[in-house]
Amino acid sequence: MKKSQMFVSKTFIYILITIITAGILIFGYKGIQEARKNSEEVQMSLFLNSLKKSIEKQRVYPFGSTDQLTFSLPNKIRSVCFVDNPKNLNELTNSELSSQFGNYEDFNIFFMPFVEHIPQKLAGFKLEENPLCISNMDGKVKLQLKSLGNIVEISASNKTNTEADCVSVAYNGEDNIDIVFLNYGYSNINNFAGDVNDYIVNVFSTVEPFASQIDKFNFYRIDKPLGDVCSVKDFVLCNEYAVKILASDCPNDYIFVLVDRSKITDFVKPVRSSAISNMAKINTADNKFVLMHEYGHIIAELADEYVDDKYYAQFKFSQEDYPNCDSIPCSKWSGIEDVGCYKGCSLSQYFRPTQTSIMKSLKSSFFGPVNEKEINKYLGAYK
Amino acid sequence: MIKRILPILIISLLLLWEVYAMPTRIQILDLQYKESKLSLISQTAKIGYYPDRKIQPKDGYTCIILSENDKILYSFKFKIPEYTFVDVTDPAKDELSGGIVKLDSTEFALTLPYFKEAKSIILYNEKNNEVLSIEVPKEQYAAKNGIVWSLVIVLIVLLAIIFFLIIRKK
């Protein structure tokens, strides 16, 4: 090949590499921005729904009942302003808000910076001071809701910032299944808030039978870290007493401890996600659906559908104790449609109802008819 | 005069009554299960939340909170967490492996509601034999945010006004 030809081809390769790199950077940046925007939109909708349900709940409480609540908001929002529509607005409080209210008279909740966020409308509340603007402190707003008969008065909470807050991330009503997320190993608490939203929106809300019954769940998070209460070995060990003391700051039918691990660190030293009693410890470097797998263990006592003879042979594992493992001819799930009798369920001698469910592999994002039926038995306890 | 003021004062008194929804007073037991024996390590009481326990195991241990006159105030079933499920994820294939780890001894905690009238907490094993009895420590239960104090103050003011009005009438 001539020198000039080599030069041209080399230049062409460099240009191509530059274009590909630029393309990856631009699309990657756009993708991240898009994902961030979507996550913020989801967080906003969770906030509004939680606030709406909390107002509905407070309304039925006796006259004068108060509740101090902390809600999760995207960090980008500086403050949230409530406006009591029928009353005259005190324009001195916030002139920017007054002009905004002029453009959106039918709305009563505004988010600062106003130009970036669409105002919202919510019924059933009144204000002592109009308008009421509350600052967003580290992704949280603290409100006091007071029942005044058929209406709820909103005011700023008098709770101090030093208290271990129970942040209401997605509230759907009273007498629901309450799930609280705790954090371990996070250097930035905003990442914890982001992970919690991710698990709620992209895991809990997408996997059946939870997705279609998501209104039976309330989700909370506690930002105060677990500290030296836990330690990371092959799996995460926590002092359950200390965990439960902290978790009791929120309603806590089930507790999820999110353990922040980078994928690289985890590749070098893998740490197992685990489940025990009403608590699951989730390695955030694992596929997100591992949370569903662990929850299957704790809510419905489902067995692993993968086979690990070496592990399971050490224990008196019997299919009789689990609803999703059986011996031939798999009579436990006879009569249920779309199931079979597939070899391997914790031990290779047992059989499972589906080829691949979330209890076998994280490639799957469904539990399968037998596991769903079993989980539904437990969810049925909640109306 | 008294007739006019009294209803207003009574209404004010009712309005001042702030009923707090949740959280409530709870107690948390730190328990150890070792060599088939259950023992209490420590316990604490605080304001917080306890699980609603609408989902309970069919069989297992039973926890009962008894009052001074041996009335059952609260009861539920639970399992001793002797086993922990541990799952290793293969990051390349998203396949799972692992299994169960049996713990030689386990420390676990139970979060329970607190009852002022509670005398003891009794734990029974699967065969319904009593395995542990825990005395509930008595403590001064201060109502949240001084509800009691605000009521006392209002009552004193109410009495003072009535007394003042009676003297003035005389």
**What percent of chain A has pLDDT above 90?**
36
> How does strand A279-283 pair with strand A254-259?
parallel
> Hunting for tokens 């034999």 — which residue is that?
B129
Q: Is the pLDDT of residue A100 over 80?
A: no
DSSP code per residue over B63-121 = EEEEETT--EEEEEEE----EEEEEEE-TTT-BEEEEEEE-SEEEEEEEEE--TTEEEE
Whether the pLDDT of residue A332 is over 90: the answer is yes
The phi and psi torsions of A245 (rounded to 5 degrees) equal -65, -45
Contacts of A311 in chain B (CB under 8 A): 97-100
Q: Which amino acid is at A207?
A: V
Helices (H), A60-179: 95-103
- Name every chain A residue with its beta carbon within 8 A of the beta carbon of B100: 311-312, 315, 317
CA dist list (Å): A109 to A128, A233, A352: 15, 47, 51
Please check whether residue A344 is in contact with residue A307, taking contact to mean a CB–CB distance below 8 angstroms. yes
CB atoms within 10 A of CB A336: 14
**Among B48, B52, B85, whose Cβ lies nearest the Cβ of A248?**
B48
Chain segment A263-299, per-residue pLDDT in tens: 787 777 788 889 988 999 999 988 999 999 999 999 9
DSSP per position, A121-135: ---SEEESSSSEEEE
The structure's pTM equals: 0.78
A325 token code pair:
């493992």
Q: Where are the beta strands (DSSP E) in chain A?
A: 66-72, 79-82, 109-112, 125-127, 132-135, 140-147, 152-156, 167-170, 177-184, 217-221, 230-232, 236-238, 254-259, 273-276, 279-283, 342-345, 347-352
Alpha helices in A60-156, H assignment, sequence order: 95-103
d(CA B121, CA B39): 12
Count other Cβ atoms within 10 Å, centred on residue A303: 26
**A119-156 per-residue burial string, b: 16 or more CB within 10 A, e: under 16:** bbeeeebbbeebbbbbebeebbbbbbbbbeeeebbbbe
For range A373-380, the mean pLDDT: 94
Query: For A58-97, how does the pLDDT look when each residue is reduced to its tens digit (9 = 90+)?
Result: 888 888 888 888 888 888 888 888 888 656 666 666 677 7
Residues of chain B found within 8 Å of residue A381, distances taken between Cβ atoms:
54-55
Residue A241: pLDDT band (50, 70, 90) is very high
Read off the pLDDT of each residue in A345-360 and give the average, rounded to a whole number. Answer: 94
Whether residue B84 and residue A249 make contact (CB cut-off 8 A), yes or no, is no
Q: What is the pLDDT of residue B145?
A: 46
Q: Output the CA torsion A265→A268→A272→A273 (10° steps).
A: 30
A251/B49 Cβ within 8 A: yes
Rg over CA atoms, chain A: 25
Handedness of CA A373, A375, A377, A383 (dihedral sign): negative
Return the amino acid letter for B98: G
Q: To the nearest whole number, what is the mean pLDDT of chain A?
A: 86
B2-16 vs B147-169: helix axis angle to the nearest 10?
A: 180
Using the CB atoms, write b or e for A198-226: b if 16+ within 10 Å.
Answer: bbbbebbeebbbbeeeeebbbbbbbbebb
What is the dihedral angle through the alpha carbons of A291, A296, A298, A304, rounded to the nearest 10 degrees? -100
Minimum CA–CA partner of A284 in chain B:
B89
pLDDT value for B103 = 76
Helix (H) or strand (E) run with residue B30 in it: strand B24-34
Using 70 as the pLDDT threshold, list the residues of chain B that sit under it.
1-22, 139-151, 170
Residue (of B111, B110, B130, B114) closest to B122 by Cα position: B130
Q: Are B17 and B148 spatial neighbours (Cβ–Cβ below 8 Å)? A: no
Cβ-contact A274, B84 below 8 angstroms: yes
Residue range A186-237, pLDDT digits in tens: 988 888 988 999 999 999 999 999 999 999 999 999 988 998 888 888 888 8
Closest CA to A36 of A81, A75, A91: A75
Chain B CB within 8 Å of residue A315 CB:
yes
Band (A162; pLDDT cuts 50, 70, 90): very low
Residue type, A297: H
Q: Inform me whether the pLDDT recorded for A34 exceeds 70.
A: no
Cis peptide bond N-terminal to A62, omega within 30: no
Nearest by CB to residue B89, choosing from A67, A178, A362, is: A362
**Which residue of chain B is at minimal alpha-carbon distance from A246?**
B48
pLDDT the model gives residue A19: 81
Between β-strands A254-259 and A177-184, what pairing exists: parallel, antiparallel or unpaired?
A: parallel
Give the pLDDT of residue B113: 93
Residue A234: its chain B contacts at CB < 8 A?
86
B89·A273 Cβ contact <8 A: yes
Query: Which among B94, B132, B104 is positioned nearest to A364, based on CA atoms?
Result: B94
Instruction: Identify the DSSP state of A363.
Output: T
Residue with the larger pLDDT of the pair B18 and A176? A176
Domains, chain A, with CATH or none? 43-156 (no CATH), 164-299 (3.40.390.10), 301-383 (no CATH)
* Best residue of B80, B89, B104, B145 to probe chain A, by most A CBs closer than 10 Å: B89
